[in-house]
Protein backbone atom coordinates (compact mmCIF):
# COMPACT_ATOMS: atom_id res chain seq x y z
CA UNK A 1 0.00 0.00 0.00
CA UNK A 2 1.57 3.24 -1.11
CA UNK A 3 1.62 5.81 1.64
CA UNK A 4 4.45 8.04 0.42
CA UNK A 5 2.02 10.74 -0.67
CA UNK A 6 0.36 10.96 2.71
CA UNK A 7 1.14 13.86 4.99
CA UNK A 8 1.80 13.22 8.67
CA UNK A 9 -1.21 12.94 10.92
CA UNK A 10 -2.65 16.39 11.77
CA UNK A 11 -3.32 15.26 15.32
CA UNK A 12 -0.27 13.36 16.46
CA UNK A 13 2.21 14.31 13.73
CA UNK A 14 3.30 10.74 13.15
CA UNK A 15 3.84 9.35 9.69
CA UNK A 16 2.04 6.07 10.15
CA UNK A 17 -1.19 6.84 8.26
CA UNK A 18 -2.26 4.26 5.71
CA UNK A 19 -5.01 3.72 3.19
CA UNK A 20 -7.86 1.51 4.24
CA UNK A 21 -10.92 0.16 2.52
CA UNK A 22 -13.82 -0.81 4.66
CA UNK A 23 -17.35 -1.40 3.49
CA UNK A 24 -18.55 -1.85 7.04
CA UNK A 25 -17.18 1.30 8.65
CA UNK A 26 -19.78 3.46 6.96
CA UNK A 27 -23.28 2.00 6.58
CA UNK A 28 -24.17 4.55 3.93
CA UNK A 29 -23.44 2.77 0.66
CA UNK A 30 -23.10 6.07 -1.13
CA UNK A 31 -20.01 6.98 0.84
CA UNK A 32 -18.26 3.68 1.38
CA UNK A 33 -14.79 3.29 0.07
CA UNK A 34 -11.26 4.39 0.76
CA UNK A 35 -10.11 6.41 3.69
CA UNK A 36 -6.88 7.12 5.49
CA UNK A 37 -6.36 6.38 9.11
CA UNK A 38 -3.57 6.98 11.55
CA UNK A 39 -2.84 3.36 12.27
CA UNK A 40 -3.22 2.55 15.93
CA UNK A 41 -3.55 -1.18 15.42
CA UNK A 42 -0.31 -2.16 13.72
CA UNK A 43 1.58 1.09 14.31
CA UNK A 44 1.82 3.69 17.02
CA UNK A 45 -0.79 6.05 15.59
CA UNK A 46 -3.62 7.87 17.32
CA UNK A 47 -6.53 6.43 15.34
CA UNK A 48 -7.54 9.62 13.54
CA UNK A 49 -9.42 9.00 10.31
CA UNK A 50 -9.83 11.06 7.17
CA UNK A 51 -12.93 11.49 5.00
CA UNK A 52 -14.16 8.54 3.00
CA UNK A 53 -13.66 8.70 -0.77
CA UNK A 54 -14.40 6.53 -3.77
CA UNK A 55 -10.80 6.34 -4.92
CA UNK A 56 -7.44 6.07 -3.22
CA UNK A 57 -6.37 9.35 -4.80
CA UNK A 58 -9.36 11.18 -3.39
CA UNK A 59 -8.83 9.69 0.03
CA UNK A 60 -5.20 10.79 0.00
CA UNK A 61 -6.12 14.29 -1.17
CA UNK A 62 -8.76 14.56 1.53
CA UNK A 63 -6.34 13.43 4.21
CA UNK A 64 -3.74 15.89 3.02
CA UNK A 65 -6.09 18.82 3.50
CA UNK A 66 -5.68 17.98 7.19
CA UNK A 67 -8.45 20.34 8.21
CA UNK A 68 -11.13 17.80 7.41
CA UNK A 69 -9.56 14.92 9.28
CA UNK A 70 -11.45 13.87 12.34
CA UNK A 71 -10.12 12.09 15.36
CA UNK A 72 -11.67 8.80 16.20
CA UNK A 73 -12.29 8.41 19.88
CA UNK A 74 -12.77 4.81 20.78
ZN1 LIG B 1 -2.32 10.39 14.49
Give distance in angstroms: CA of 68 to centre of ligand 1. Answer: 14
pLDDT of residue 21: 86
pLDDT of residue 25: 52
pLDDT of residue 44: 92
Q: Per this entry, what is the length of the chain? A: 74
The C-alpha atoms of residue 18 and residue 27 are separated, in whole angstroms, by 21
Helix (H) or strand (E) holding 62: helix 56-64
Q: What is the pLDDT along the chain (74 residues), one digit of tens a residue?
A: 445 688 999 889 999 999 988 766 556 656 568 889 999 988 999 999 988 888 899 999 989 986 555 665 54
pLDDT of residue 22: 74
Give distance in angstroms: CA of 37 to centre of ligand 1. Answer: 8
Give distance in angstroms: CA of 28 to centre of ligand 1. Answer: 25
Give distance in angstroms: CA of 6 to centre of ligand 1. Answer: 12
Amino acid sequence: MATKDLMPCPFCGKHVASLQYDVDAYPDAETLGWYVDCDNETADGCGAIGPTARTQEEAIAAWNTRATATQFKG
